[in-house]
Amino acid sequence: MKPELLAPAGDLDKVRLAYHYGADSVYIGGKTLSLRARASQFDLKLIQEATQVAHEKNKKLYVTVNVVPHDEDLELLDEYLSALGKIGVDALICSDPYVIDQALKLTAVPIHLSTQFSPTNSALIDFWLQRGVQRVVLARELTLAEMRLIRQHTKMECEVFIHGGMCVSYSGRCTLSNRMTGRDANRGGCAHSCRWKYRLIRSDDTPPEDFWMASKDLETIRFIPDLVDLGIASFKIEGRMKSHMYIAAIVKAYRALIDDLFTHSLRPFSVYEAIIQKAENRHRFSGFVEGNPDDSGQIFTDKKDLPIQNFVGIVRDTIPEKHQAWVETRNAFSPGDDYEVFSPSNEQQSLRIIDMTSEDGTKLSLSNHPLEKVLIQSDILLSPYDIIRKVVK
C-alpha cells in the first residue's frame, strides 16, 4: 500500500502549500493543548478553514492535542475536543491517556497516539489499539529492525518520522528546559537546552572540555524503500515552524521518491537529496534506522546554520496573458540576477525577470523588504505557489 505523506504546517498558507507540493495530509497545532500552541495561529475558525481546504482537495488534516496537560489545561478540553469533532478534522494526535479517552468519548475523530508517548513495542501499541486508537506514531529511537518486529506483531497502523528535527532525549521525557529556564517542555515551552554549549567536567584533574549533545536532523531518503516494505502507513515530516521553502522542498522530494518507487521508476537517491538540499541548511543523518547513532548523529558546535538567502519570493497570483505575476518577497530581489523557479511539476526552470514594479506601480530595480508584494514580468509563465530562488553561482 502506498504510504501517506504527512507534512507540517504552521499557518493556513503553508497548509495550502504543503498540499500543492504533494502532501496527502497535513498536521497542525491549535492554539490550545498543542506543543506549538505559543506560535500557532490556528484558532477553531482557522482549523475549520484548513479542514475545508483539505477536504476540497480530497486530502486530510490532522490536529495535534499532544501536550502533557496539567489540571488547569483540562478545563476547556471537552469543549475543544467537541469543537474539533464538529469541524470534522481527520485525526487528533494525542499523547495523554485522559485526552485520548475524552477524544474517543466526545468525538468520532480517529485518534493517533503521539510519539511523545514513546511507543517502542507492540504490547504497548496493542493496548492502545484495544482502547480505540487507530494509529501510532512510532518513537524516533527505533531501528529499522525494531520497526520490522513491531509491524510483525501488531495490526495497528504505524506512522514514522522520515525527516526533520529530533530530540536527543526520548520525546516527552525531558525536563531540562523546565529546570534551566522555568519553561515546561511538555507544554510547548521547550527552550532547546540540549542545543546549548556545555563543558564536561570530570572528577579527576583533567581540564573541562566542550560538550555538545544536539542531534542532527533526520533524513531518510535512502531508507524510504525499506520503510515502504515494512508497510508503514504514514511518512511524517517534522517542522511546524519551518518556512515555505522548506515545506515545499521536503514534501516535493519525498513525494517524487514515493511516486517513483510505486511506478518502478526510482531514480538515484542523489536526485531526491538534491531537491532537499535546495531548502536544507541543517546537518542531517539517518537517525536510528541503522542503530544507536554514534557521534556522526550529533552537532559539535554552536555555530548557527546560516539561513538560506536564495529563497527570494513566492508567487501569489498571476496574469498569464501578460506573463506577469504577483510575488511576495522573502529576500532581496532585483531583475538583474539569475533566478530559477521551484514548483511541484518541474525539476527546476531558469527564470528571467524582465520588469518589476511595486504595488503602487513604481518601477523597481530592487526589492529588499521581506513580505513586500511586487509585480514581475517574466520570460516564462508562473503559477501560484511557485517559489522563486536566486541562482547561487
Please select the residue that binds other proteins; options are 180, 241, 319, 391, rule is CB under 8 A.
Answer: 180
12 forms part of the interface with other proteins (CB under 8 A): no
Residue 68 or 364 having the CB closest to other proteins? 68
Quote the DSSP letter at residue 389.
E
Separation CA 393–CA 380 (nearest Å): 21
292 forms part of the interface with other proteins (CB under 8 A): yes
201 forms part of the interface with other proteins (CB under 8 A): yes
Minimum CB separation of residue 326 from other proteins in Å reads 38
Task: Please state whether beta strands 91-94 and 60-65 pair in parallel, antiparallel, or not at all (unpaired).
Answer: parallel
Chain centroid offset of residue 244 CA: 11
Residue 218 or 356 having the CB closest to other proteins? 218
105 forms part of the interface with other proteins (CB under 8 A): no
H or E element that contains 83: helix 77-87
What is the crossing angle of helices 244-262 and 269-277, to 10°? Answer: 170
| 28 within 8 A of 63, measured Cβ to Cβ | yes
Q: Which of residues 27-46 bind other proteins (CB under 8 A)?
A: 37-38
Residue 250 is placed in which grid cell?
A: 521536503
Minimum CB separation of residue 313 from other proteins in Å reads 34
206 forms part of the interface with other proteins (CB under 8 A): yes
130 by DSSP, 3-state: which? helix
169 forms part of the interface with other proteins (CB under 8 A): yes
Separation CA 393–CA 390 (nearest Å): 9
Task: Please state whether beta strands 157-164 and 234-237 pair in parallel, antiparallel, or not at all (unpaired).
Answer: parallel
DSSP string, 331-385: S-B-TTS-EEEE-SS-S-EEE-EEEEE-TTS-B-S-B-STT-EEEEEESS---TT
HSE, CB side, 13 Å, CA atoms: give it for residue 347.
6
Residue 119 or 344 having the CB closest to other proteins? 119
How many other C-beta atoms lie within 10 A of the C-beta of residue 11?
17
68 forms part of the interface with other proteins (CB under 8 A): yes
85 forms part of the interface with other proteins (CB under 8 A): no
Please select the residue that binds other proteins; options are 181, 334, 357, 358, rule is CB under 8 A.
Answer: 181
260 forms part of the interface with other proteins (CB under 8 A): no
283 forms part of the interface with other proteins (CB under 8 A): no
282 forms part of the interface with other proteins (CB under 8 A): no
Residue 145 or 354 having the CB closest to other proteins? 145
172 forms part of the interface with other proteins (CB under 8 A): yes
118 forms part of the interface with other proteins (CB under 8 A): yes
Integer angstrom CA distances of residue 278 from 139, 330, 348, 360? 28, 15, 11, 33
Please select the residue that binds other proteins; options are 2, 86, 192, 197, rule is CB under 8 A.
Answer: 197
Residue 56 or 71 having the CB closest to other proteins? 71
Q: What would the x/- binding string for other proteins be over residues 122 to 161, using CB under 8 A?
A: xxx--x-----------x-xx---x--xx--x--------
HSE, CB side, 13 Å, CA atoms: give it for residue 359.
8
Minimum CB separation of residue 129 from other proteins in Å reads 11
106 forms part of the interface with other proteins (CB under 8 A): no
189 forms part of the interface with other proteins (CB under 8 A): yes
HSE, CB side, 13 Å, CA atoms: give it for residue 370.
5
Separation CA 341–CA 353 (nearest Å): 11
Residue 167 or 247 having the CB closest to other proteins? 167
298 forms part of the interface with other proteins (CB under 8 A): yes
192 forms part of the interface with other proteins (CB under 8 A): no
Q: Which amino acid is at 148?
A: R
Q: Which of residues 309-348 bind other proteins (CB under 8 A)?
A: none
Task: Please state whether beta strands 339-342 and 387-390 pair in parallel, antiparallel, or not at all (unpaired).
Answer: antiparallel
Minimum CB separation of residue 110 from other proteins in Å reads 18
Q: 69 phi and psi, to 5 degrees?
A: -80, 155
Q: Contact region for other proteins (CB under 8 A) — 56-64, 67-75, 258-266, 368-376? A: 67-75
Minimum CB separation of residue 283 from other proteins in Å reads 13
Count residues binding other proteins (CB under 8 A).
Answer: 74
Separation CA 373–CA 212 (nearest Å): 42
174 forms part of the interface with other proteins (CB under 8 A): yes
